[in-house]
Structure 1
Amino acid sequence: MKPVLYLCLFLVGLQVQALPNPNHSNKHKKERPHSIGHHGHVEGENLAHMKIAPSNAEFAFRFYKQVAKEGGNKNIFFSPLSLSTAFAMLSLGARSNTLSQLHKCLTFNLTEMEEQEIHEGFQHLLQLLNDPYREIQLSMGNTLFIDERLKLQQKFLDDVKNFYHSEAVSMDFQNSEHAKKEINNYIKEKTHGKFVDLLKSLDKDAVMILTNYIYFKGYWENPFKSYNTRDDDFFVDAEHSVKVQMMYKQKYYNIHRDEKLSCWVVEIPYKGNATAFFILPDEGSMSQVEDALLQDTVSNWSLSFKLRRINLYLPKFSISGSYDVKELFLKMGVTDMFSNNADFSGVAEDTLLKVSRAIHKAKLNVNENGTEAAAVTMVEIVPLSAMLNPLEIKFNRPFVIMVFDKSTNTIIFMGKVVNPTAIED
């Protein structure tokens, strides 16, 4: 029996930066985001990436709930897309129970779609997200750093390049300091300097490191004005508050009041094919909102939006998340790939592999970042009922955020803001 060698995964679900758009269009768009899990009105609904969208959404909500259960009353921020992509790519080389556990965790049901369709879905998704002509700045990619001693199965190498557009970089892992530096420099470059020295150490037995990165910068379709930003209180809980810089805008937004869950949902669109949902539970209702985070819930919110003028208050904030994915996945039923029962026989020739570490880091920055660079004239015509006094929705207590790519029906980032001023690693 050969000794088991190690595979590490570093998943970087990078920075979302919500900025004002300097080239803001004067056309008011009323287009709604594609509802999660509801594809009836989407052109080309049988396209490969649409087949995996419901599974990716379901995984996002499952992972969020696991993090929320473990994390207590803390900020949450992660990229479900980064996690799904990296582990789907790894599943190309998994076999037997290791593969079935991965599929179950990622919520891929092989009675509804073939394994080939999963990978074709990610292939198409990556092509669409990395389109350089999109109005939002979004880049996503995968890289395999491989010890020169490890001989990969040619099919695995071909498949990760074909389906996941993955680079494969051979290096000497015996020179661990040099290898660590090269990997960290790669991640720093791909994340525009947002993550420096992500890899703190390299396991002496490591033979492959899989990295996934995603970077997104979005411009608000209707920017906030910095001169309207004021100091205000944000109530972390019923007894404690912190001072924040509260942005303000009076405008027509798609909003929905969910009486059953006691929460407000506000859609704040980015210029281009991306949008964000901000979910504000009533005081004491966060748990029931989190429990109800499912595809059907979010789809119903999307389909129930009404355009209404509101006084919107939203804090400027920067939060981050750092997660031991191994510990979380073990609790979600993925056990074999971290143990000596791991079967990654599709990855390498004559070498037994298991995953030793899997970490995920993500950052979010939301602000108005200065003033608009162009003058805009906009005329909005709405039903008379919307001309009543504006409703006030103030995000001055914990809330949930989801960032969607509308063209692919994908949740790119997801999180919870409990304390906008908390400094976390």
Structure 2
Amino acid sequence: MKSALYLCLLFLGLQVQGQQQEQIHPSPEEKSQADVENLPHVKLAPSNADFAFKLYKQIRGELGDKNIFFSPLSISTAFAMLSLGARSSTLRDLHKGLAFNLTQMEEQEIHEGFQHILQMLNDPHREAQLNMGNTLFVDKKVELLQNFLDRVTNFYFAEAISSNFQNPPEAIKEINKYVETKTHGKIVDLVKSIDPETVMVLINYIYFKGAWERPFDESSTRDSDFFLDAKNSVKVKMMYEEDYFNVHRDEKLSCWVVEIPYKGNVTSFFVLPDEGAMKEVEDALLKETVSEWLRSFKKSEIYLDLPRFSVSSSFDVKSLLEKMGVTEVFSNRADLSGVAKNHLLKVSEAIHKATVDVRENGTEAAAVTLMRIMPMSLPFPPPPRITFNRPFLMMIIDKNTDGLLFLGKIVNPTAKED
């Protein structure tokens, strides 16, 4: 009987706080366009985006009208790391499921791409607090193959921690304490039980705490209605800002797209479909669609209303990936012979939990009076008002890596967990 490799995938603790900060523009890279396009993390970005949107649509199909929030990069990183120990058809199954195109980049480049992503996300000089890491909790009776250990350490900066899974309460306590520490207390008591056959737990965590470049004025926040559907609404705290944002009106998909940047070269897209247009927008979620939005942004003055919200989501990643065609790694046909000595392994469970907290706090009280003196002219139409008072999509994107860190749909801002 195969031993179980309990694969635990976590995205934990996105907190958004506002602080006053002038917009920062990264200095241009002194490399030619061809050189940039050949960097492993740049070549990897389209595959990761394809996987993200494919997984989102699978989740949407199962959850329907519920909040969705997850880190596609966390999931793809964990399974890419595991693929270092996969062989034969199990390896091909993982590559296909993760949307890796081996005709455009070699297997070595895939892992080098993730290596570069991890290096850039964990850069201590970043203004945003952004941490991503990988850990293997390995039973004392298991000896990892040196080649696998060397490669997960080199490419994924993973640390291996010896554990005693024959003492489940102690192992659970150890893992949960680690998770709680890495997520700054955002996720507690994640692991409730451990199968006695478990010999390894693989964890990927990502934590982001970012400040808006321009915060919302807390004194402008007010109670407002958020419409769940045509008949039902909930009360939310609605934040308000009148400012210049990158904005695009997609007439084809009947939606507004607003970019709200953070300090530290991380940004967010908030997508507001017209009433009844959510499914059409979701169906069109592809890397090409997002690229078109990026190209079409125009800096415009708008009245922006955005709800303050805090939601969490939990997913059975094993079930989701099996329905997407990734099956072998979870079955008794799994070939993970490159992981450990004298153990036939399969992935018995893969879970993912994500939390997001969007608000306007973190600013000091201040006041300023400003008068703009300008010549009289014919009256201009007022700026458009974009009010996120119905279900919307959100993306958190790292500009350094073109990585889609987080992706979600907010259907009910008052629902804490789905």
**Would you say same fold, with TM above 0.5?**
yes
1:259-338 alignment, distance < 5 Å: 259-338=251-330
Q: Mark the CA change 1:310 to 1:114 in structure 2 (over 3 Å): closer, same or farther.
A: same
Q: Mark the CA change 1:173 to 1:227 in structure 2 (over 3 Å): closer, same or farther.
A: same
RMSD: 2.4
**CA–CA distance in structure 2, aligned partners of residues 389 and 67 of structure 1:** 39
What is the aligned partner in structure 1 of residue 336 from structure 2? 344
List runs of 5+ in structure 1 lacking aligned partners.
32-38
Do the aligned partners of 1:89 and 1:164 also contact (CA within 8 Å) in 2? Answer: yes
Q: Mark the CA change 1:375 to 1:11 in structure 2 (over 3 Å): closer, same or farther.
A: farther
Normalised by the length of structure 1, the TM-score is 0.93
SS of equivalent residue, structure 1 residue 13: coil
Matching residue's letter, 1:12: L
**CA–CA distance in structure 1, aligned partners of residues 212 and 381 of structure 2:** 25
Do the aligned partners of 1:135 and 1:272 also contact (CA within 8 Å) in 2? Answer: yes
SS of equivalent residue, structure 1 residue 86: helix
**CA–CA distance in structure 1, aligned partners of residues 402 and 378 of structure 2:** 31
What is the aligned partner in structure 2 of residue 389 from structure 1? 382
**CA–CA distance in structure 2, aligned partners of residues 326 and 80 of structure 1:** 14
Do the aligned partners of 2:19 and 2:363 also contact (CA within 8 Å) in 1? Answer: no
**CA–CA distance in structure 2, aligned partners of residues 201 and 300 of structure 1:** 45
Q: Quick one: which of 394, 408, 412 aligns to 2:401?
A: 408
* Deviation at residue 112 of structure 1 after TM alignment: 1.1
Matching residue's letter, 2:6: C
Normalised by the length of structure 2, the TM-score is 0.94
Do the aligned partners of 2:303 and 2:384 also contact (CA within 8 Å) in 1? Answer: yes
Matching residue's letter, 2:363: T
What is the aligned partner in structure 2 of residue 47 from structure 1? 39
Do the aligned partners of 2:245 and 2:302 also contact (CA within 8 Å) in 1? Answer: yes
Do the aligned partners of 2:13 and 2:187 also contact (CA within 8 Å) in 1? Answer: no
SS of equivalent residue, structure 2 residue 90: helix
* Deviation at residue 45 of structure 1 after TM alignment: 2.8
List runs of 5+ in structure 2 lacking aligned partners.
none
* Deviation at residue 387 of structure 1 after TM alignment: 6.5
Matching residue's letter, 1:162: N
What is the aligned partner in structure 1 of residue 180 from structure 2? 188
* Deviation at residue 348 of structure 1 after TM alignment: 1.0
**CA–CA distance in structure 1, aligned partners of residues 174 and 370 of structure 2:** 50
Matching residue's letter, 1:280: L
* Deviation at residue 275 of structure 1 after TM alignment: 0.4
* Deviation at residue 42 of structure 1 after TM alignment: 9.3
Do the aligned partners of 1:252 and 1:309 also contact (CA within 8 Å) in 2? Answer: yes
Q: Mark the CA change 1:282 to 1:257 in structure 2 (over 3 Å): closer, same or farther.
A: same
What is the aligned partner in structure 1 of residue 345 from structure 2? 353
SS of equivalent residue, structure 1 residue 14: coil
Aligned pairs, number: 413
Residue 225 in structure 1 maps to residue 223 in structure 2: no
Matching residue's letter, 1:415: G
Q: Quick one: which of 208, 220, 225 aligns to 1:216?
A: 208
Matching residue's letter, 1:155: N
Matching residue's letter, 2:11: G
Do the aligned partners of 2:24 and 2:265 also contact (CA within 8 Å) in 1? Answer: no
* Deviation at residue 16 of structure 1 after TM alignment: 1.6
Matching residue's letter, 2:105: M
What is the aligned partner in structure 1 of residue 150 from structure 2? 158
**CA–CA distance in structure 1, aligned partners of residues 254 and 184 of structure 2:** 39
**CA–CA distance in structure 2, aligned partners of residues 376 and 155 of structure 1:** 61
SS of equivalent residue, structure 2 residue 360: coil
